[in-house]
Structure 1
Amino acid sequence: MRLRILAVVLSIGFVCAVAHALESVPKAEYRQRRVALANKLDGGVAVVFAAEEPVLDFMPYRQDEDFYYLTGWNEPGAALVIIGPGPETKTRLGDVVPEHAYREILFLPARNLVMEKYTGTKMDAATADVAASTGFDTVMPMTALPEVMTKFLGEDRRRAQSVWSQLDSPQAKASVDFSAASLGIGTGIDPHDVRTLTMVLRSVKSPAEIELLRKASDASIASQLAGIRAIKPGVRERTIAGIEIAKMLEEGSERPSYAPIVGSGANSTTLHYADNSATMKAGDVVVIDAAGEYSMYASDITRTMPVDGKFTARQREIYDIVLGAQRAAAAAFVAGKSKLGGVNQRGPEVTDTLDKVAYDYINTHGKDLHGEPLGKYFLHGLGHSVGINVHDPMDYSKPLDKGNVFTIEPGIYIPEEGIGVRIEDVFYVDQQGKLVDLIAKLPHEAADIEAAMKH
Structure 2
Amino acid sequence: MIRKLLVLALLLAPFSGAMERQNNADYRARRQKLAAELKGGVLVLFAPTEPSAGNATSGFRQDDNFYYLTGWSEPGAAIMIAAEVVAKDEHPARAYTEVLYLPAHNTVQEKWTGPKLGPENPQARDLTGFDRVELLDKMRDDIADLLQKDPRAPIYSDISTGDEVSPSADGLAWLKRANAFPVVRFADFKPIVSDQRRVKDAGEIELIRKGTNASIAGHLAAFKAIHPGVTEREIAALQMYEFGKRGCERPAYAPIVGSGYNGTVLHYSEDSGTLKDGDLVVMDVAGEYSMYASDITRTAPVNGHFTARQREIYEIVLGAQRAAIEAFVSGKSVLLGKTDDSLYKVAYDYINTHGKDLHGEPLGKYFIHGLGHYVGLEVHDPGSYATPLQPGMVFTIEPGVYIPEEKLGVRIEDIVYVDANGKLVDYTAALPHTVEEVEKAMKK
Question: What is the TM-score when the length of structure 2 is the normalising length?
Answer: 0.93
Select the residue among 143, 150, 171 that pairs with 1:175. 171
Distance (Å, rounded) in 1 between the aligned partners of 2:389 and 2:213: 24
Select the residue among 405, 408, 421 that pairs with 1:416. 405
Q: Paired residue for 2:157?
A: 165
Contact 1:150/1:182 (<8 A) preserved: no
Q: Structure 1 segments of 4 or more deviating over 4 A? A: 17-20
**One-letter amino acid matched to 2:178:** S
Kindly state the Cα deviation for residue 358 of structure 1 after the two structures are TM-superposed.
Answer: 0.2
Q: Does 1:321 align with 2:316?
A: yes
Distance (Å, rounded) in 2 between the aligned partners of 1:260 and 1:450: 23
**One-letter amino acid matched to 1:165:** S
Alignment of 1:151-162 (within 5 A): 151-159=145-153, 162=154
Select the residue among 132, 138, 153 that pairs with 1:144. 138
Kindly state the Cα deviation for residue 189 of structure 1 after the two structures are TM-superposed.
Answer: 3.8
**One-letter amino acid matched to 1:144:** K
Q: Paired residue for 2:8?
A: none
Distance (Å, rounded) in 1 between the aligned partners of 2:116 and 2:316: 53
Q: Does 1:48 align with 2:45?
A: yes
Q: Does 1:213 align with 2:208?
A: yes
Contact 1:176/1:189 (<8 A) preserved: no
Contact 2:151/2:184 (<8 A) preserved: no
Q: Paired residue for 2:31?
A: 34
Contact 1:322/1:410 (<8 A) preserved: yes
Select the residue among 197, 200, 204 that pairs with 2:195. 200
Q: Secondary structure at the match of 1:104?
A: strand
Distance (Å, rounded) in 2 between the aligned partners of 1:156 and 1:222: 55
Shift of the 369–18 alpha-carbon distance from structure 1 to 2, 3 Å rule, reads farther
Q: Does 1:87 align with 2:92?
A: no
Q: Paired residue for 2:63?
A: 64
Distance (Å, rounded) in 2 between the aligned partners of 1:174 and 1:255: 28
Distance (Å, rounded) in 2 between the aligned partners of 1:182 and 1:57: 34
Kindly state the Cα deviation for residue 57 of structure 1 after the two structures are TM-superposed.
Answer: 3.4
Q: Paired residue for 1:373?
A: 362
**One-letter amino acid matched to 2:22:** V
- Output one character per residue of 1:331-379: Cα deviation in whole Å (capped at 9) or x when no partner: 101111111114xx3xxxx201000000001011111111111111000
Query: Which segment is superposed worse, 53-62 or 406-415?
Result: 53-62
**One-letter amino acid matched to 2:156:** W
**One-letter amino acid matched to 2:189:** V
Contact 1:165/1:193 (<8 A) preserved: yes
Shift of the 258–171 alpha-carbon distance from structure 1 to 2, 3 Å rule, reads closer
Kindly state the Cα deviation for residue 190 of structure 1 after the two structures are TM-superposed.
Answer: 4.3
Kindly state the Cα deviation for residue 134 of structure 1 after the two structures are TM-superposed.
Answer: 0.6
Distance (Å, rounded) in 1 between the aligned partners of 2:169 and 2:253: 28
RMSD: 1.6
Matched length:
425
Q: Does 1:386 align with 2:375?
A: yes
Contact 1:177/1:189 (<8 A) preserved: no
Contact 2:15/2:74 (<8 A) preserved: no
Q: Secondary structure at the match of 1:114?
A: helix
Distance (Å, rounded) in 2 between the aligned partners of 1:416 and 1:18: 53
Contact 1:89/1:98 (<8 A) preserved: yes
Q: Does 1:295 align with 2:290?
A: yes
Distance (Å, rounded) in 1 between the aligned partners of 2:294 and 2:200: 14
Kindly state the Cα deviation for residue 19 of structure 1 after the two structures are TM-superposed.
Answer: 9.6
Q: Secondary structure at the match of 1:278?
A: coil
Query: Which segment is superposed worse, 162-171 or 319-328?
Result: 162-171
Q: Secondary structure at the match of 1:391?
A: coil
Distance (Å, rounded) in 2 between the aligned partners of 1:360 and 1:62: 41
Distance (Å, rounded) in 2 between the aligned partners of 1:199 and 1:310: 43
Q: Paired residue for 2:225?
A: 230
